[in-house]
Amino acid sequence: MNLHRVLLAVVLSGIVAVSEAAVPPVLVIHGGAGVIKRDLTPTKEKAIRAALTQALEAGYARLKAGKSAVGAVSAAIVVLEDDPNFNAGKGAVFTHDGKNELDAAIMDGERRRAGAVAGVQHIKNPILLARAVMDKTPYVMLAGSGAEDFARSIGMPLVDAAYFRTDARWQQLQKARKEDASGKLHADEGTAKHFGTVGAVALDVHGHLAAGTSTGGMTDKRWGRIGDSPIIGAGTYANSDCAVSATGWGEFYIRTVAAHAICMRVSQMRIPIQRAAAVVVNQEIPALGGNGGAIALDAHGNIAIPFNTDGMYRGWIDASGVPHVAIYGDEDDSTAEPPAPAASVH
Protein backbone atom coordinates (compact mmCIF):
# COMPACT_ATOMS: atom_id res chain seq x y z
CA MET A 1 0.00 0.00 0.00
CA ASN A 2 2.79 2.39 0.92
CA LEU A 3 4.57 1.61 -2.37
CA HIS A 4 1.39 2.37 -4.31
CA ARG A 5 1.06 5.70 -2.54
CA VAL A 6 4.67 6.58 -3.35
CA LEU A 7 4.18 5.68 -7.02
CA LEU A 8 0.97 7.70 -7.17
CA ALA A 9 2.70 10.72 -5.63
CA VAL A 10 5.53 10.47 -8.17
CA VAL A 11 3.06 10.28 -11.07
CA LEU A 12 1.02 13.21 -9.78
CA SER A 13 4.10 15.37 -9.22
CA GLY A 14 5.18 14.59 -12.77
CA ILE A 15 1.80 15.65 -14.12
CA VAL A 16 2.01 18.94 -12.22
CA ALA A 17 5.53 19.59 -13.53
CA VAL A 18 4.50 18.85 -17.12
CA SER A 19 1.44 21.07 -16.74
CA GLU A 20 3.53 24.00 -15.52
CA ALA A 21 6.14 23.56 -18.21
CA ALA A 22 3.42 23.33 -20.87
CA VAL A 23 2.57 27.05 -20.68
CA PRO A 24 4.28 28.66 -23.69
CA PRO A 25 6.07 31.83 -22.57
CA VAL A 26 5.21 35.13 -24.24
CA LEU A 27 6.96 38.50 -24.17
CA VAL A 28 5.78 41.84 -25.57
CA ILE A 29 7.78 45.08 -25.45
CA HIS A 30 7.40 48.69 -26.54
CA GLY A 31 9.73 51.63 -26.95
CA GLY A 32 7.12 54.35 -27.08
CA ALA A 33 4.29 55.57 -29.28
CA GLY A 34 4.20 58.76 -31.31
CA VAL A 35 6.67 57.66 -33.98
CA ILE A 36 6.81 59.99 -36.97
CA LYS A 37 8.30 58.34 -40.04
CA ARG A 38 9.96 61.46 -41.40
CA ASP A 39 11.98 61.79 -38.20
CA LEU A 40 13.68 58.40 -38.63
CA THR A 41 16.76 58.06 -40.79
CA PRO A 42 17.49 54.57 -42.19
CA THR A 43 20.43 54.29 -39.80
CA LYS A 44 18.37 55.20 -36.74
CA GLU A 45 15.53 52.91 -37.78
CA LYS A 46 17.96 50.02 -38.14
CA ALA A 47 19.43 50.74 -34.70
CA ILE A 48 15.98 50.87 -33.09
CA ARG A 49 14.89 47.60 -34.66
CA ALA A 50 18.13 45.99 -33.48
CA ALA A 51 17.61 47.27 -29.94
CA LEU A 52 14.04 46.00 -29.83
CA THR A 53 15.25 42.59 -31.01
CA GLN A 54 17.99 42.57 -28.39
CA ALA A 55 15.48 43.42 -25.67
CA LEU A 56 13.20 40.61 -26.81
CA GLU A 57 16.07 38.14 -26.79
CA ALA A 58 17.22 39.20 -23.32
CA GLY A 59 13.78 38.81 -21.78
CA TYR A 60 12.75 35.69 -23.67
CA ALA A 61 15.97 33.86 -22.75
CA ARG A 62 14.92 34.11 -19.14
CA LEU A 63 11.42 32.87 -19.88
CA LYS A 64 12.78 29.87 -21.80
CA ALA A 65 15.05 29.10 -18.86
CA GLY A 66 12.01 28.91 -16.60
CA LYS A 67 12.65 32.25 -14.88
CA SER A 68 9.85 34.51 -13.70
CA ALA A 69 7.84 36.96 -15.76
CA VAL A 70 9.15 39.70 -13.45
CA GLY A 71 12.73 38.74 -14.33
CA ALA A 72 11.97 38.74 -18.05
CA VAL A 73 10.31 42.15 -17.90
CA SER A 74 13.27 43.58 -15.98
CA ALA A 75 15.83 42.15 -18.40
CA ALA A 76 14.04 43.45 -21.48
CA ILE A 77 13.59 46.94 -20.06
CA VAL A 78 17.22 47.21 -18.97
CA VAL A 79 18.28 46.79 -22.61
CA LEU A 80 16.00 49.65 -23.65
CA GLU A 81 17.09 51.84 -20.74
CA ASP A 82 20.70 51.40 -21.83
CA ASP A 83 19.99 52.41 -25.44
CA PRO A 84 20.05 56.19 -26.10
CA ASN A 85 17.42 55.89 -28.84
CA PHE A 86 14.68 55.56 -26.22
CA ASN A 87 13.31 57.96 -23.63
CA ALA A 88 14.34 55.92 -20.60
CA GLY A 89 17.64 55.67 -18.78
CA LYS A 90 20.44 56.92 -21.03
CA GLY A 91 18.83 59.18 -23.61
CA ALA A 92 16.00 60.31 -21.36
CA VAL A 93 14.44 63.67 -22.18
CA PHE A 94 15.24 66.86 -20.27
CA THR A 95 13.06 68.82 -17.91
CA HIS A 96 12.55 72.56 -18.35
CA ASP A 97 15.46 73.10 -15.96
CA GLY A 98 17.78 70.90 -18.02
CA LYS A 99 17.73 67.82 -15.79
CA ASN A 100 16.83 64.19 -16.38
CA GLU A 101 14.16 62.91 -13.99
CA LEU A 102 13.39 59.23 -14.40
CA ASP A 103 10.34 57.15 -13.43
CA ALA A 104 9.74 53.40 -13.49
CA ALA A 105 7.40 50.74 -12.13
CA ILE A 106 7.08 46.97 -12.12
CA MET A 107 4.24 44.69 -11.02
CA ASP A 108 4.05 40.97 -10.29
CA GLY A 109 0.61 39.81 -11.43
CA GLU A 110 0.65 36.57 -9.45
CA ARG A 111 0.72 38.27 -6.05
CA ARG A 112 -0.07 41.82 -7.14
CA ARG A 113 3.12 43.09 -5.59
CA ALA A 114 4.47 46.29 -7.11
CA GLY A 115 7.38 48.69 -6.87
CA ALA A 116 7.96 52.12 -8.38
CA VAL A 117 10.36 55.05 -8.35
CA ALA A 118 9.77 58.61 -9.50
CA GLY A 119 11.96 61.62 -10.16
CA VAL A 120 15.32 59.88 -9.71
CA GLN A 121 18.34 61.54 -11.33
CA HIS A 122 21.29 59.20 -10.71
CA ILE A 123 19.92 55.67 -11.22
CA LYS A 124 21.32 53.95 -14.33
CA ASN A 125 18.46 51.45 -14.55
CA PRO A 126 15.35 52.75 -12.77
CA ILE A 127 13.46 49.50 -13.48
CA LEU A 128 15.93 47.62 -11.26
CA LEU A 129 15.40 50.10 -8.43
CA ALA A 130 11.64 49.79 -8.85
CA ARG A 131 12.01 46.02 -8.55
CA ALA A 132 14.13 46.46 -5.44
CA VAL A 133 11.40 48.64 -3.91
CA MET A 134 8.97 45.78 -4.57
CA ASP A 135 11.27 43.05 -3.25
CA LYS A 136 13.06 44.76 -0.38
CA THR A 137 10.68 47.33 1.16
CA PRO A 138 7.10 47.41 2.51
CA TYR A 139 6.37 50.33 0.16
CA VAL A 140 5.19 50.64 -3.43
CA MET A 141 6.66 53.99 -4.53
CA LEU A 142 9.76 55.95 -3.55
CA ALA A 143 10.60 59.33 -5.04
CA GLY A 144 13.55 61.64 -5.63
CA SER A 145 16.39 61.76 -3.13
CA GLY A 146 14.65 59.25 -0.86
CA ALA A 147 14.62 56.66 -3.62
CA GLU A 148 18.30 57.31 -4.24
CA ASP A 149 19.07 56.97 -0.51
CA PHE A 150 17.38 53.59 -0.65
CA ALA A 151 19.49 52.65 -3.69
CA ARG A 152 22.64 53.47 -1.72
CA SER A 153 21.42 51.44 1.24
CA ILE A 154 21.20 48.28 -0.88
CA GLY A 155 24.51 48.87 -2.61
CA MET A 156 23.11 49.97 -5.96
CA PRO A 157 25.65 52.31 -7.58
CA LEU A 158 24.58 55.79 -8.64
CA VAL A 159 25.80 57.46 -11.81
CA ASP A 160 26.64 61.06 -12.60
CA ALA A 161 23.80 63.03 -14.14
CA ALA A 162 25.91 63.52 -17.27
CA TYR A 163 25.49 59.81 -18.06
CA PHE A 164 21.92 60.36 -19.29
CA ARG A 165 22.62 63.31 -21.59
CA THR A 166 22.45 63.03 -25.37
CA ASP A 167 22.74 65.93 -27.80
CA ALA A 168 19.51 64.93 -29.56
CA ARG A 169 17.51 65.22 -26.33
CA TRP A 170 19.18 68.52 -25.47
CA GLN A 171 18.17 69.95 -28.83
CA GLN A 172 14.60 68.76 -28.26
CA LEU A 173 14.56 70.78 -25.05
CA GLN A 174 15.83 73.90 -26.80
CA LYS A 175 13.07 73.58 -29.39
CA ALA A 176 10.45 73.10 -26.66
CA ARG A 177 11.72 76.13 -24.77
CA LYS A 178 11.33 78.28 -27.87
CA GLU A 179 7.77 77.03 -28.30
CA ASP A 180 7.07 77.89 -24.68
CA ALA A 181 8.44 81.39 -25.14
CA SER A 182 6.28 81.93 -28.22
CA GLY A 183 3.13 80.81 -26.44
CA LYS A 184 2.85 77.47 -28.21
CA LEU A 185 3.06 75.37 -25.06
CA HIS A 186 1.01 72.15 -25.58
CA ALA A 187 -0.54 73.59 -28.74
CA ASP A 188 0.30 70.46 -30.70
CA GLU A 189 -1.12 67.36 -29.07
CA GLY A 190 0.89 65.19 -31.42
CA THR A 191 4.23 66.60 -30.32
CA ALA A 192 6.96 64.17 -29.26
CA LYS A 193 6.94 65.86 -25.83
CA HIS A 194 4.55 63.24 -24.56
CA PHE A 195 6.04 60.03 -25.92
CA GLY A 196 9.03 57.70 -25.63
CA THR A 197 8.29 55.48 -22.64
CA VAL A 198 9.57 51.88 -22.76
CA GLY A 199 7.89 48.83 -21.29
CA ALA A 200 7.37 45.09 -21.28
CA VAL A 201 4.76 42.50 -20.33
CA ALA A 202 5.47 38.80 -19.96
CA LEU A 203 3.83 35.42 -19.36
CA ASP A 204 6.16 32.81 -17.87
CA VAL A 205 6.09 29.01 -18.05
CA HIS A 206 4.21 28.88 -14.74
CA GLY A 207 1.37 30.97 -16.18
CA HIS A 208 2.27 34.10 -14.21
CA LEU A 209 2.14 37.61 -15.66
CA ALA A 210 4.16 40.75 -15.02
CA ALA A 211 4.38 44.29 -16.38
CA GLY A 212 6.99 47.01 -16.24
CA THR A 213 7.46 50.54 -17.57
CA SER A 214 10.32 53.05 -17.55
CA THR A 215 10.53 56.62 -18.81
CA GLY A 216 12.25 59.98 -18.79
CA GLY A 217 8.82 61.58 -18.87
CA MET A 218 7.84 64.62 -20.92
CA THR A 219 10.30 66.96 -22.63
CA ASP A 220 10.32 70.38 -20.92
CA LYS A 221 8.31 69.14 -17.92
CA ARG A 222 8.26 71.38 -14.85
CA TRP A 223 7.81 71.35 -11.09
CA GLY A 224 8.54 67.68 -10.53
CA ARG A 225 5.84 66.51 -12.93
CA ILE A 226 5.26 62.75 -12.79
CA GLY A 227 3.38 60.92 -15.51
CA ASP A 228 1.55 57.62 -15.62
CA SER A 229 4.49 55.22 -15.95
CA PRO A 230 5.31 54.77 -12.23
CA ILE A 231 1.69 54.96 -11.12
CA ILE A 232 0.31 51.50 -10.55
CA GLY A 233 -2.98 51.17 -12.43
CA ALA A 234 -2.33 54.10 -14.77
CA GLY A 235 0.70 53.24 -16.88
CA THR A 236 1.60 49.88 -15.34
CA TYR A 237 -0.56 47.07 -14.00
CA ALA A 238 -0.69 43.28 -13.76
CA ASN A 239 -2.86 40.68 -12.09
CA SER A 240 -3.40 36.96 -12.68
CA ASP A 241 -5.41 37.59 -15.85
CA CYS A 242 -3.78 40.57 -17.55
CA ALA A 243 -0.63 42.69 -17.78
CA VAL A 244 -0.36 46.17 -19.32
CA SER A 245 2.36 48.74 -19.99
CA ALA A 246 1.27 52.04 -21.50
CA THR A 247 2.91 54.83 -23.48
CA GLY A 248 1.54 58.23 -24.43
CA TRP A 249 0.33 61.46 -22.90
CA GLY A 250 0.52 60.41 -19.26
CA GLU A 251 -2.03 62.78 -17.80
CA PHE A 252 -4.77 61.07 -19.78
CA TYR A 253 -3.62 57.60 -18.78
CA ILE A 254 -3.76 58.71 -15.15
CA ARG A 255 -7.23 60.21 -15.54
CA THR A 256 -8.60 57.02 -17.11
CA VAL A 257 -6.54 54.70 -14.86
CA ALA A 258 -5.82 53.09 -18.20
CA ALA A 259 -3.81 49.98 -17.38
CA HIS A 260 -6.18 48.96 -14.59
CA ALA A 261 -9.22 49.76 -16.74
CA ILE A 262 -7.99 47.37 -19.42
CA CYS A 263 -7.33 44.57 -16.94
CA MET A 264 -10.64 44.98 -15.15
CA ARG A 265 -12.44 44.52 -18.45
CA VAL A 266 -10.51 41.28 -18.90
CA SER A 267 -10.78 40.01 -15.31
CA GLN A 268 -14.30 41.05 -14.35
CA MET A 269 -16.17 41.49 -17.61
CA ARG A 270 -14.35 38.71 -19.50
CA ILE A 271 -13.88 40.95 -22.51
CA PRO A 272 -11.13 39.70 -24.87
CA ILE A 273 -7.92 41.57 -24.23
CA GLN A 274 -7.70 42.98 -27.76
CA ARG A 275 -11.10 44.62 -27.41
CA ALA A 276 -10.52 45.72 -23.81
CA ALA A 277 -7.28 47.47 -24.74
CA ALA A 278 -8.74 49.06 -27.86
CA VAL A 279 -11.68 50.58 -25.96
CA VAL A 280 -9.40 52.32 -23.47
CA VAL A 281 -6.56 53.35 -25.78
CA ASN A 282 -8.47 54.17 -28.94
CA GLN A 283 -11.75 55.45 -27.50
CA GLU A 284 -11.63 56.62 -23.87
CA ILE A 285 -8.26 58.38 -23.99
CA PRO A 286 -8.83 60.18 -27.33
CA ALA A 287 -12.29 61.24 -26.15
CA LEU A 288 -10.56 63.27 -23.42
CA GLY A 289 -7.98 64.70 -25.81
CA GLY A 290 -5.09 62.32 -25.23
CA ASN A 291 -3.27 59.82 -27.40
CA GLY A 292 -0.71 57.05 -27.23
CA GLY A 293 -0.64 53.27 -27.10
CA ALA A 294 -0.20 50.22 -24.90
CA ILE A 295 0.91 46.62 -24.88
CA ALA A 296 -1.33 44.09 -23.13
CA LEU A 297 -1.12 40.35 -22.52
CA ASP A 298 -3.51 37.86 -20.96
CA ALA A 299 -2.94 34.57 -19.15
CA HIS A 300 -3.66 32.61 -22.34
CA GLY A 301 -0.89 34.37 -24.23
CA ASN A 302 -3.18 36.62 -26.26
CA ILE A 303 -1.55 39.92 -27.22
CA ALA A 304 -2.98 43.40 -27.81
CA ILE A 305 -0.95 46.32 -29.18
CA PRO A 306 -3.36 49.23 -29.76
CA PHE A 307 -2.08 52.72 -30.59
CA ASN A 308 -3.56 55.81 -32.20
CA THR A 309 -0.38 57.54 -33.39
CA ASP A 310 1.60 57.26 -36.62
CA GLY A 311 3.63 54.47 -35.13
CA MET A 312 4.84 52.72 -32.00
CA TYR A 313 8.14 50.95 -31.38
CA ARG A 314 7.08 47.42 -30.49
CA GLY A 315 8.11 43.77 -30.51
CA TRP A 316 6.80 40.42 -29.38
CA ILE A 317 7.58 36.73 -29.14
CA ASP A 318 4.43 34.66 -28.89
CA ALA A 319 3.91 30.92 -28.36
CA SER A 320 5.64 30.21 -31.69
CA GLY A 321 8.91 31.44 -30.23
CA VAL A 322 9.51 33.68 -33.25
CA PRO A 323 10.55 37.31 -32.60
CA HIS A 324 8.68 40.12 -34.36
CA VAL A 325 9.57 43.81 -34.42
CA ALA A 326 7.53 46.69 -35.86
CA ILE A 327 7.53 50.48 -35.87
CA TYR A 328 4.94 51.94 -38.21
CA GLY A 329 1.18 51.71 -38.19
CA ASP A 330 0.99 49.82 -41.48
CA GLU A 331 3.19 46.96 -40.31
CA ASP A 332 1.43 43.71 -39.53
CA ASP A 333 0.86 42.92 -35.87
CA SER A 334 -0.07 39.39 -36.87
CA THR A 335 -0.47 38.07 -33.34
CA ALA A 336 -2.89 40.81 -32.32
CA GLU A 337 -6.51 40.32 -33.28
CA PRO A 338 -8.01 43.47 -34.84
CA PRO A 339 -10.22 45.36 -32.35
CA ALA A 340 -13.95 45.32 -32.77
CA PRO A 341 -15.53 48.33 -34.51
CA ALA A 342 -16.31 51.15 -32.11
CA ALA A 343 -20.07 50.84 -32.62
CA SER A 344 -20.11 47.23 -31.44
CA VAL A 345 -18.07 47.75 -28.28
CA HIS A 346 -19.93 48.16 -25.02
Active-site annotation, residues: 197
In whole angstroms, give the CA distance from residue 36 to residue 328.
Answer: 8
The helix/strand/coil state of 6 is helix
Give the Cβ contact number of residue 177 at 10 Å: 16
Burial (Cβ within 10 Å: 0-12, 13-18, ≥19) of residue 198: buried
- Backbone angle region of 57, left / alpha / beta, with phi > 0 → left and psi within -120 to 50 → alpha: alpha
Residues 75, 54: contact at Cβ < 8 Å? no
Using DSSP bridges, classify how beta strands 303-304 and 292-298 pair: parallel, antiparallel or unpaired: antiparallel
CA distances in angstroms from 136 to 113, 121, 150, 211, 325, listed in the order given: 11, 21, 10, 18, 34
| Main-chain dihedrals φ then ψ at residue 42, nearest 5 degrees | -55, -35
In whole angstroms, give the CA distance from residue 257 to residue 294.
Answer: 13
CA distances in angstroms from 249 to 74, 188, 197, listed in the order given: 23, 12, 10
Burial (Cβ within 10 Å: 0-12, 13-18, ≥19) of residue 30: buried
Sheet holding 303-304, edge to edge: 236-238, 242-248, 292-298, 303-304
In whole angstroms, give the CA distance from residue 156 to residue 161.
Answer: 15
